[in-house]
Amino acid sequence: MTVELRLALQEQRAAELSERVSRLLGPFSGSERALDSGSGTGALAFALAAHVGEVVAVDLRAEYMEAGRERAPENVRFVEGDAMALPFEYGSFDIAGSLRVLHHVRRPELAVSELARVTRPGGRLLIVDQLGSVDPLRSMELDRFERLRDPSHTRLLPDADVRGFLEANDLVLLTFEVVRERVDLEQRLELAQVPEEDRVRIRGLAPGAFYDIELGWYVARKSGP
Ligand SMILES: C[S@@+](CC[C@H](N)C(=O)[O-])C[C@H]1O[C@@H](n2cnc3c(N)ncnc32)[C@H](O)[C@@H]1O
């Protein structure tokens, strides 16, 4: 995905994200240290920055981080790193989150266990990702289409898998919401500058010109004081 597309989507979603972050993670003391793992250009980091003392945004793509740095509030710092092997000590953060990242990593269970490791006991986690279908064939079809549209797509996880990852890391689910999002396929193809010859195939596999996806919002607490 191009930097321009990422920034355009970030802008489009900023107000709603900010409202949801403050409602689901607040109240804040104002001095928390927070992590945005797989930050891209910093969508979650910027939403958290208004409420906490410091945010560290981690991503692998230098061009996303560069664009994020240019727009970042003073209390946001971008660090290059791998969500599956975060460059931080155990318990470094009061709040750790990842937004729309799990379906882009090869080993999502490692991305969740790393978020859990770097969160302090008693700290909170926010995991948001597009959900896969409980029907494996439907999920495979969706993944095939999404991968064509965006080659960095790996696999959508069904809700049960995300819950399993939380349980495996001793994380207690506090709230869970499903949010439906309408995707305008032509707008995405245009913004991503997909070559015309590829668009025909993508349109053929798409659920429709407009289709709804489901995002799971999981807020969890790490056991401890
Ligand atoms: C769909 S984007 C979401 C970006 C941002 N969180 C947002 O919601 O705007 C997925 C992001 O995950 C990053 N990513 C993928 N694999 C990663 C990894 N192993 N470690 C860190 N970041 C990764 C990509 O570079 C990309 O920025």
Cis before 27? omega within 30: yes
Q: Is residue 54 part of a domain?
A: yes
The CA distance from 218 to 106, in Å, is 20
| Chain segment 115-168, per-residue pLDDT in tens | 999 999 999 999 999 999 989 898 888 898 888 888 889 999 999 999 999 999
Q: Specify the amino acid at residue 54.
A: E
Q: Is residue 141 part of a domain?
A: no
Q: Is residue 143 part of a domain?
A: no
For residue 24, give its domain range: 3-133+153-183+213-222
Q: At what angle do helices 159-168 and 108-118 cross, to 10 degrees?
A: 40
Q: How many domains does the chain have?
A: 1
Q: Is residue 79 part of a domain?
A: yes
Q: Contact 38/104 with Cβ under 8 angstroms?
A: yes
Question: How far does the centroid of ligand 1 lie from the alpha carbon of residue 173, in Å?
Answer: 23
Q: Is residue 192 part of a domain?
A: no
From the CA of 128, give the closest atom in ligand 1.
Answer: 8
pLDDT at 54: 98
Question: For the whole model, what pTM was predicted?
Answer: 0.95
Pocket residue to mutate for ligand 1, from 5, 60, 154, most atoms within 8 A of Cβ: 60
Ligand 1, residues at Cβ distance < 6 Å: 10, 38-40, 43-44, 59-61, 64, 82-84, 99-101, 104-105
Q: Is residue 37 part of a domain?
A: yes
Residue 67's closest CA among 100, 93, 45, 96? 45
Q: Contact 53/44 with Cβ under 8 angstroms?
A: no
Q: Is residue 144 part of a domain?
A: no
Average pLDDT for the chain: 94
CATH number at residue 112: 3.40.50.150
From the CA of 150, give the closest atom in ligand 1.
Answer: 1
